[in-house]
Structure 1
């Protein structure tokens, strides 16, 4: 039924973009890859020739830009020039357009090194979106989306798919325009995928290697045996200090909750190497991270050197690092990461 809804929605209307966005953010886009690709190709091929009211709606222009760039289309950021005044600033009339500002903010995270206007967009949107939160928006769903993207520093581009889907389902439930059919489908799909991941984790954490690997392909067997050997070596080392029992908890808790010694941070290293203060080192590293995201965005645009599925493996590593370190060191202090893992891998959704 969701596929039928997607097929029956006209390609050149805002509701098509919004439906694709919802399907992707709910984490069920993999069921409709062909339909979504066909729709976005149609929109990409046609949008340059559209001069209607949709091109004057920041919400739609930004959403279309983001979805097309996300698909790999190298669409220019010139589409935002109409929202900029003669002095190079975004026009003041946008300040209270929260939906438009949020969509522009999300779109700006798909910037490459050539998209200076999108750097200005992030600054402009951040300022006015923060003000909108202080004014306590009546739209609960919109308020939660703004908070997640801005305050929690988790824009769509930097969000892990399954965790993002889990959070967005809770937000979409509060949306007055939601489709109950799409929402229930997403919940059911999330629970099914969660069960699959639970079975995989159960296999991965069971110390009977031959039984676990019996039906696995050779490359999986190689990786798994290497992982088990690593744990054996760690356990041998920990036994010398009488703490070998910690290895059991490391395996049980998905390998992210145990640190066996104090680690030196990248900030510490940078301060020592370049004689910087902590504030200077943090600012410089943040600048490098910002540029690295832009480089990765560029590599994901056509023409791509390798297929997108391969690129996304690397991109998701960046998302993991952002998740763990953007606000706090959630590797060394795993309270937050434990909550995320419970959301994705432990707690099912009520349907």
Structure 2
């Protein structure tokens, strides 16, 4: 089966996939409370005033590296780190210049240090975790009793690059011992605004909650929610560009337009090729399929992960063979085996992305890398496990309501 150069499989079915997106967008726009302009202006002023007070907290904690890192972690989770990019950059640069991990044998502290600095694009060696391995090269079993440390290690390990064996072991170790918990996507893969809304409630229940930080974060969430509500109303009027807010800059408009025309031509050629394959009932090899679907999907990371989540739905549609089907036909394996192998490809892609973020600081600026990375985050959010984009009436709807409609 795998040796055929022109494998043919009739992908049958007359299923028309209806989505809830139009109704959902309209209902959210109707339900969203449009915050009056004077209230938005008032919020903006109060945020500016409180920002000064929060910035002062950086100076108060500057002598204690661990306290600074805990503080940075908190404001990142609360979604207000964008107000303090300069302070965060200076603080982590200072910490990076020290030998922080040399005399630290606390797993939580080392994991937090590793994650924050890698997120800041510092090339911190994964060797900092070798001190936690036993004589057999595995993580010491006694570490599993400290849940905070285990969660910190779980989050840190997902910033691994290719061939970092100790971090591979860390992921397996934490998943094994945290299996009683319903582990969410790691922080590095989660979409910002739903993540922020969820953490606001968690932080408010924390006995160590800082009232000033909480008030500032809530105010900022309401302010951004008001802006997003106004945008949601505009989208409901012309609901044609779901990724329009991924990145926008006023300059270089003509250049963007010309490049967009070129890219759209490539997409059109890709659609034509897929139509030919569908008409001929041709199942391409995986590499051949990806060369086309990476273009027609709009961005590369979408393809493998999305078809894993959509596999059952895709196979009911009268459409070109999906990634899963291409792999099954080419390798003569089951769908389950195909999904496992494709999942490995997705995980390897995350490792490559992490490497590009960390290793290409002189070539790719942060202003370019993070919007692209957010597309990968969105894809993980939508397709990790199930296709909540097509079936938007539950999980996706709840998340949109949490971000756009419900107050904090």
Give the TM-score, by structure 2 length: 0.66
Aligned pairs for 1:310-325 within 5 A: 310-325=368-383
1:269 paired to 2:326: yes
Partner SS state of residue 136, structure 2: coil
Within 5 A, what are the aligned runs for 1:22-37? 22-37=74-89
- Structure 1: which 4+ aligned runs deviate by more than 6 Å? 220-223
Deviation at 1:266, TM superposition (A): 3.0
The 3 A distance-change label for structure 1 pair 281 and 34 is same
What number of residue pairs does the alignment pair up? 289
Tell whether the 8 Å contact from 1:90 to 1:121 is kept in structure 2 after alignment.
yes
Aligned equivalent of 1:330: 388
Return the offset for 1:345: 1.7
The 5 A counterparts of 1:102-121 are 102-121=151-170
Please state how far the C-alpha of 1:95 moved relative to its aligned partner: 1.4
Give the counterpart of 2:407 among 325, 342, 348. 348
Contact 1:66/1:110, CA 8 A, preserved across alignment: yes
Q: Secondary structure at the match of 2:341?
A: helix
In the alignment, which of 114, 130, 149 is matched to residue 100 of structure 1? 149
Match of 2:130 among 81, 89, 92: 81
Q: Which 5+ residue runs of structure 2 have no aligned equivalent?
A: 1-52, 241-248, 262-312
1:179 paired residue among 206, 210, 223: 210
Q: Which residue of 2 aligns with 1:232?
A: none
Q: 1:95 to 1:173 in 2, by over 3 A?
A: same
Q: Which secondary structure does the structure 2 equivalent of 1:10 belong to?
A: coil
Quick one: which of 320, 335, 339 aligns to 2:398?
A: 339
Deviations 1:193-219 (A, max 9, x none): 01111112222333599xxxxxx9584
Deviation at 1:160, TM superposition (A): 0.9
- Measured in 2, the distance between the counterparts of 1:115 and 1:11 equals 32
Provide the rounded CA distance (Å) in 1 between the counterparts of 2:162 and 2:373.
17
Structure 1 contact 104–125 (Cα < 8 Å) conserved = yes
Cα distance in 1 for partners of 2:350, 2:232 equals 30
Q: Which residue of 1 aligns with 2:199?
A: 168
> Contact 2:62/2:91 (CA < 8 Å) preserved in 1?
no
Cα RMSD over matched residues?
2.7
| CA distance in structure 2 between the partners assigned to 1:308 and 1:37 by the alignment | 12
Query: What displacement does 1:294 show?
Result: 0.3
In structure 1, what is the Cα distance between the partners aligned to 2:348 and 2:83? 33
Deviation, 1:317, is: 1.0
> 1:57 aligned to 2:106?
yes
Per the alignment, residue 367 of structure 2 pairs with 309
Aligned residues of 1:331 and 1:337 also touching (Cα < 8 A): yes
**Is the Cα contact below 8 Å between 1:11 and 1:43 reproduced in 2?**
no
When residues 10 and 208 of structure 1 are mapped into structure 2, their CA distance, relative to the original with a 3 A threshold, is closer
Report matched runs for 1:195-344 at 5 Å.
195-207=226-238, 217=250, 219=253, 262=317, 265-304=322-361, 305-334=363-392, 335-344=394-403
User: Contact 2:159 / 2:188 at 8 angstroms: preserved in 1?
Assistant: yes
For residues 90 and 72 of structure 2, what CA distance do their matches in structure 1 show?
11
SS at match of 1:282: helix
1:146-161 matches, within 5 Å, as: 147=182, 150=183, 152=184, 154-161=185-192
Give the Cα–Cα distance (whole angstroms) in 2 for the partners of residues 11 and 24 of structure 1: 20
Tell which has more relative contact order, 1 or 2 (C-alpha 8 A, sep 6+). 2
Flag the 1:207–1:34 CA change in 2: closer, same or farther, 3 A. Answer: closer
Deviations 1:240-261 (A, max 9, x none): xxxxxxxxxxxxxxxxxxx999
